[in-house]
Amino acid sequence: MTEKLQEKRLSVKRDIVFKRIFAHKGNEAFLTEFLSSLLNLKIRKIEIMHDIHLEKDIEELLVLKKKN
């Protein structure tokens, strides 16, 4: 994989990517599976109470990338 292509990918280790995958309404199944695996427990149901809005986080990330 070229360096240019690698730079365009966002790592799940970034808070913004993690939130988009696991804390977004509609992705409860991903969060349930993740926590079940991590905690070695059977989780039957998870409800995300407050949907997250990442627009501001994305803008800040893009501004930081432009500065570097």
CA distances 10 to 45, 47, 54, Å, are 28, 26, 14
Mean pLDDT of 10-20: 72
Q: Is the pLDDT of residue 49 over 80?
A: yes
- pLDDT value at position 17? 77
Would you kindly state where each structural domain of the chain is located, as residue ranges?
A: 10-67
Phi-psi region of 48 (alpha: psi -120 to 50; beta: other; left: phi over 0): beta
pLDDT tens profile 27-47: 899 999 999 999 999 999 998
